[in-house]
Amino acid sequence: MFLPMVASAQHFFSGTITDSATGEKLPMVAITINSTLLSTFTDLDGKFKLQLKDGDYTVQFKYVGYGVKTVKISLPKDSVMNLSWAAQTLYSNEVVVSATRAGDKTPTTYNNIDKDYLEKSNVGQDMPFLLNFTPSMVVQSDAGAGVGYTYIHIRGSDATRVNVTIDGVPINDAEDQGVYWVDMPDIVSSTDNIQIQRGVGTSTNGAGAFGASINIETTKLATQPYAEYSSSAGSYNTFKNTFQFGTGLINGHWAFDGRGSEITSNGYVDRATSSFQSAFLDAGYYSKNTMIKAVVFTGKEKTYQAWYGTPQDSLVTNRTFNPAGMYYNSAGQVQYYPNETDNYEQDYFQLHISQQLGHDWQVNAALFQTNGWGYYEDFDAQYRYEYYGLQSPGAGKDTGNFVEDLWLNNKFYGATYNVKYTNHSRLDVDFGGAWDQYFGEHYDNVTWAQYGLPSNSYQYVSNTALKTDVNFFARANYQIINNLYLFADMQYRHVNYSFLGFNDSLQNVTQDVKLDFFNPKGGVSYDLSTTQNLYASVAVGNKEPSRDDYTQSTPSSRPMPEHLVDWEAGYKQHWKNVAIQANVYYMDYKNQLVLNGQVNDVGAYNRINVPESYRTGIEAQLVYQPVKWLRWDANATYSANKIKNFNEYIYSNDSNKTVLYQTHPLTDISFSPSWIVGSILSFIPVKHLEVSLLTKYVGKQYLDNTQSADRAIPAYLTNDIRVNYAFFPKWMKEIDLTLLVNNITSLKYVSNGYTNYEYIQGGVVYSQNYYSAQAPANFLVGVNLKF
């Protein structure tokens, strides 16, 4: 018997890349074979080698400071290409983010997301939903459809443990350490690329990265003029309109880019309306060795409050029920206060300066200021006058309805800097750091009371906060031999946080806190071949408590900072049609802060330190493209997230005091599913048409740390359909059409929530769960016109 066999000849594509001016060999040039998954880097001698089958290929070369070069090759036989490459004549802004990013041989776990990936789904939903299919990511939406207040968890860590920078400038709120994407509407339209590092990662600026860091790079230099207009519409009266423009280079050195956006939506949940306006403008001067770039962007939002969630007993009968602003009128009828809204504006100012000093040195510096002000209005039904420090206006009038505005006015300003040395052979060294200071004013005003106020607007709470954050780091990559790289990273961080005034319970919370952290990191990266890499690292992170941890405590009950040791190891392999990546991690926490229901010495349910807890898991990624018209991108995370010896406290109605209710020897950390799976299956039946099935599975989660079945978020599996089509008429550059249908099976699922411990009586625990109900099948359709 003879088996038919088809042989396809294999040939080597190789060469050497040098600097055209100096003749110096260029190491670590990234080489990608387009329409395949093959890629490699030049070695210490600037040499590269890839094995390819017969055929025609487009090869892309990319190197910092040199830009991107594309060439076409044909391989009927072995081919050698010696490329002489000139450095860019203009200094671009990619050097700005290099200080806070992992490189190709950095032994840490990360993913890069480019502009093309983001543009495919950018039809109105917030940034978290565009990142939903990256590894270990879980996203939530208060309004239920991805517009309004949205949140992320990465490896089970919430936004307060995820460091976010934009062009190297810290974005996390200095006091509560979270990130509010609602204050940066449509920032994705001004984003060129994103790097997500999972775990502690490399040293960065701003809040400590305990779960991950997200580094956003905004618009890059466009040498040619352009204009874009995009518009989208969809379910729940969602509309998005964006106009962008760029001047291209003026007189060979100047360039300006701008954007204006408006987004509105009614939301899926009752009254969960959103209205956003935003703008972005940058102005840059570019020469061969210098870049000076000013960036200004602003966001203004008004959202009807939906963060209360839907009570558990309403999920079956009325999934969209929103209790915010609810009260009863004199006839006993349910009413909703019409202005139960959040109103906030935030303005960002950045000035970046980058300078090339000789052949080996780069210096980057930035000045920044962020101004924010606004309030949320709250209707308080049947509150006592004494709650606001007021005397009752008369007998029978101790309790009434009130309207209050809770104000925040803050400024956040500082500087970042970075000095980079590269000898273009074995050693890269970075020195850098940042100084920033935050000043915030918190004040709560009663603007209306059922039985009158002593003045038109009565202020019952006022306090100020000042926080200074200083960090220094030194980082080095050293290539010992041709395929072995060592990495070291040391960071010192000092935090000084002081606050004056009274908290919401009218207690004096004046305190001053000084903290010092040392965060060392190290690792090794080893190339098994031109297409295989192994890495391993260990990184230490430390993180201070947040605002409420301090203001809702006294020095004697104040929690301690959190400490984390993060161990990572991974493997990468790619072929022409397949790329795989897998990594394991063990994140060992000391004094992690969690809620346990315990009331402290000022009567607050404050977070407490648990001595020992950990997260451990395996993350796997696959890209498979067997033919040009079919591609599968998939990732999966399996993890265990545990607290050792968790003590749960519940208020007792029987004894009128806090009592220990139960001890849990080993329990799941809240909002930490064991399984997270993402999949994007893309078909390209004809040129420029792509149809994708997006699938997301999130395993069971718990609302608190007791692993109680009646305080859980059930597992869910969602499927979305995305269609992208582009065509190129003669009278304009491009027209892109997008259709996004979310949750095509109309699954009734919830993505987030919380639990209220009420009391224990007669040995029975009484509590109420609230959930963020997500929308059934819904759609967004958009058009993008490029001129």
Express each pLDDT in 34-69 by its tens digit: 777 777 878 777 888 887 777 788 888 887 767 788
Q: Is the pLDDT of residue 152 over 70?
A: yes
| Structure-token pair, residue 767 | 């509590």
In three-state secondary structure terms, 508 is strand
pLDDT digits (tens, 9 = 90+) for 522-537: 999 999 988 899 999 9
Between 282 and 764, the higher pLDDT residue: 282
The answer to whether the beta carbons of residues 167 and 295 sit under 8 Å apart is yes
Tell me, what's the pLDDT at 67? 73
| Structure-token pair, residue 594 | 């969690």
Q: Is the pLDDT of residue 631 over 60?
A: yes
Q: Is the pLDDT of residue 608 over 90?
A: no
Tell me, what's the pLDDT at 455? 80
CA distance 431 to 421: 9
Question: 659: pLDDT confidence band, cut at 50, 70 and 90?
Answer: low
Tell me, what's the pLDDT at 575? 85
Q: Is the pLDDT of residue 759 over 70?
A: no
Range with the poorest average pLDDT among 50-64, 150-164, 385-399, 757-771: 757-771
The mean pLDDT of the chain is: 89
Tell me, what's the pLDDT at 510? 84
Q: Is the pLDDT of residue 225 over 90?
A: yes
Q: Is the pLDDT of residue 489 over 60?
A: yes
Q: Is the pLDDT of residue 1 over 50?
A: no
Q: What is the mean pLDDT of residues 116-128?
A: 95
The answer to whether the beta carbons of residues 405 and 377 sit under 8 Å apart is yes
CA distance 320 to 234: 18
CA distance 673 to 130: 20
Q: Is the pLDDT of residue 8 over 50?
A: no
The answer to whether the beta carbons of residues 277 and 264 sit under 8 Å apart is no
Amino acid at 601: D
The answer to whether the beta carbons of residues 742 and 722 sit under 8 Å apart is no
Tell me, what's the pLDDT at 569? 98
Residue of 723, 737, 721 whose CA lies nearest to 684: 723
Tell me, what's the pLDDT at 762? 63
Neighbours of 72 (CB within 10 A): 9
The answer to whether the beta carbons of residues 422 and 430 sit under 8 Å apart is no
CA distance 437 to 418: 19
Residue of 62, 70, 57, 7 whose CA lies nearest to 30: 62
Tell me, what's the pLDDT at 92? 66
Q: Is the pLDDT of residue 654 over 80?
A: no
Tell me, what's the pLDDT at 125? 96
Question: 104-121: buried (b, 16+ CB within 10 Å) or exposed (e) per residue?
Answer: ebbbbbbbebebebbbbb
- The model carries a pTM of 0.90
Q: What is the mean pLDDT of residues 434-446?
A: 95
Is residue 133 classed exposed, middle or buried when 0-12, 13-18 and 19+ CB atoms within 10 A define those classes? buried
Q: What is the mean pLDDT of residues 735-753?
A: 97
Tell me, what's the pLDDT at 110? 95
∠ CA 486-488-492, rounded to 5°: 175
Tell me, what's the pLDDT at 5? 33
